[in-house]
Every structure is written in C-alpha cells, then in structure tokens.
C-alpha cells in the first residue's frame, strides 16, 4: 500500500491525502466539517456519502460512495446532499392482503413505472452496480421474484431516483415489491408452531433455572 500524497478537490476545498484514504477520510482529515453526508463511514451500506466524482482528464461524472472510494490525484468531488423524493409514493402494506392484486398494486403506487424510457440513467447512477432498469422492467411485467433479487443489495441511496427522468423512484419500487413478497408469502412453519406454543401459554420461561447448579432439567 503506497502512502504517496495526492491532491484533489472536495466540496471546493483543496485537499491533500495519502492514496490509501477514502474520499471521506481525506475530507475529514483536511479539517472539513463532517456533520452530514456520512453514516456507516466505510461499510458502504447507508448511502449517505453519495457524491459526484469527476476524474482527472475525464468529462463523465460518476456517482460513488465517498466512504468506499479511494482518492486519486486531480479528482473533483461534490457531495449529493440530502435528497428526498418530493412526492413520496404512499402505500399501506397492511391493506395489501390479496396476492392476486399485486400487479394492480404496483401500478397504482408506481404509475410512472410503465413509462420507463430505457435511458439507463438509473444503471449509471447506481454505486452498487445493480441492474436497476431491469428491476423496474421485471416489476412492471409482474416478474416479482426477479425484481426482488435485483434489489436485494440495494442500499437505498436514492441516486437512481435522482437520475430518473420519469420520476419512477426505482429503489422504492423495488423495496415495495420486496416488502409485499415477504409480507404476503413468508410463513415459516416452525415459527408459526412456536408462536402457537407461546400464545397458548404452553411455553414459558423459568428464570430460576439459572440459579440451580445443574442448570436445565
């Protein structure tokens, strides 16, 4: 691991940092105030450190996670602060009790999804490299298991939502499908049995058992 220093610009600040540092480490070490755009700080699971990165000599801007991306010389970085969709899709999972209605429900809550223009903006935006556009297509066509799998590793950074010209909110659509599937179909048998044993009073806990030297009878 080389510890040569490189210079880059983060949020308009000239920053010099060792090449082993992540963007967020470099920013904080340079004295930048870090009170937002950070959460898990390195695990890459909260999505709060999303940022736009332009690399030296490149015109394209890419979307990355500042806590996972190592610094490079000549990088320009701007955090994508605080983003929430304006008109959140509203639904109440409790009212979705009939699995036969899932296609209607998807269309009702995410009516824009069928207008996907296949621009690929969401795919390019996703720092996790998920097939977001495919996931939207699967959900619209009713292939809910496939949609569920596409969004399995989604960290809800909302970058695809930000990128989508049709205001589809792909990650929220994906999460809706995932939640609906679990709520409607996950019925593990031993969990159901155990709940019945507890709720009927058949199973309880004897706290004095740990005081007896022989432990469990």
Partner 1 sequence: MIPFEPALARLRAAQGDYPMRGDMPPVSELLGRFHPDSIGGQPVPLAVGVNAGMLCQPEVAARLQTNALIDDVDIAGAETLNTDILVIGGGGAGCAAALTAAAAGARVLLATKLLLGDSNTVMAEGGIQAAVGADDSPQRHFEDTYRAGHRAADKHLVAQMALDGPDAIRWLIKLGMAFDTVDDRPFGGSLRRKTPGGATAPRILSYRDFTGLEMMRVLREAVALHRGIRVMDRSPAVELLSDDRGRCVGAVLYSVEHHRFVLVRSRRTVLATGGSGRLHLNGFPTSNHYGATADGLVLAYRIGAKLREMDSFQYHPTGIAHPAHLAGGLISEAARSEGAKLVNGLGERFVEELKPRDVVASAILRECAEGRGVTRDGQTGVFLDVPSLVREKPGILEHTLISLAHLAAKCRVDPAAEPLLVYPTLHYQNGGVAIDGDGQTAVPGLLCVGEVSGGIHGRNRMMGNALLDIVSFGRRAGAKAAEAFAEPYASRAGIGHIHDWQRQLTLAGLPLDARGPQVFPPYGNFDLASDARLRSRTAQGGAR
The answer to whether residues 73 and 26 touch, using CB atoms and an 8 Å cutoff, is no
Q: Could you say which of 16, 35, 123, 140 contacts partner 1 (CB under 8 A)? A: 35
CA distance linking residue 79 with residue 205, whole number of Å: 51
Q: Could you say which of 6, 21, 27, 48 contacts ligand FES (CB under 6 A)? A: 48
CA distance linking residue 128 with residue 119, whole number of Å: 18
Pick from ligand FES, ligand SF4, partner 1, none: which does 25 bind, CB < 5 to 8 A by kind? partner 1
Residue 78 half-sphere exposure toward CB, CA atoms < 13 A: 5
CA distance linking residue 177 with residue 140, whole number of Å: 10
Told to check if 163 binds ligand SF4 by CB under 6 A, we report yes
Told to check if 144 binds ligand SF4 by CB under 6 A, we report no
How far apart are CB 145 and ligand SF4 at their closest, in Å?
17
Residue 195 CB-density burial (10 A; 0-12 exposed, 13-18 middle, 19+ buried): exposed
Among candidate residues 17, 18, 39, 21, the one with its CA nearest the CA of residue 30 = 17
Q: Binding to partner 1 (CB under 8 A): which residues in 151-190?
A: 152-156, 172, 175, 178-183, 185-190
Site string for partner 1, 130-149 (x = CB under 8 A): ------------------x-
Q: Could you say which of 170, 176, 177, 178 contacts ligand SF4 (CB under 6 A)? A: 170
Residues near ligand SF4 (CB under 6 A)? 47, 116-122, 125-126, 128, 130, 132-133, 136, 154-160, 163-166, 168, 170-171
């Amino acid at each position: 691991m080389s510890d040569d220093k490189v210079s880059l610009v983060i949020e308009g600040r000239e920053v010099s940092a060792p090449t082993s540092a992540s963007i967020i480490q470099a920013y904080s070490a340079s004295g930048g105030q870090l009170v937002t755009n950070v959460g898990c700080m390195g695990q890459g699971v909260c999505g709060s450190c999303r940022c736009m990165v332009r690399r030296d000599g490149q015109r394209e801007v890419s979307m990355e996670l500042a806590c996972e991306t190592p610094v490079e010389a000549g990088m320009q970085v701007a955090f994508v602060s605080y983003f929430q969709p304006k008109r959140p899709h509203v639904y109440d999972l409790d009212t979705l009790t009939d699995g036969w209605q899932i296609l209607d429900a998807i269309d009702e809550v995410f009516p824009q999804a069928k207008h996907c223009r296949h621009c690929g903006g969401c795919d390019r935006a996703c720092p996790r490299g998920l097939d977001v556009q495919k996931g939207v297509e699967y959900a619209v066509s009713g292939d809910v298991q496939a949609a569920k799998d596409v969004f399995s590793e989604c960290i809800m950074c909302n970058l695809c939502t930000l990128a989508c010209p049709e205001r589809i909110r792909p990650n929220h659509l994906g999460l809706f499908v995932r939640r609906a599937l679990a709520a409607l179909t996950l019925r593990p048998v031993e969990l159901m049995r155990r709940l019945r044993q507890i709720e009927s009073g058949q199973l309880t806990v004897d706290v004095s058992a740990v005081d007896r030297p022989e432990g469990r009878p």
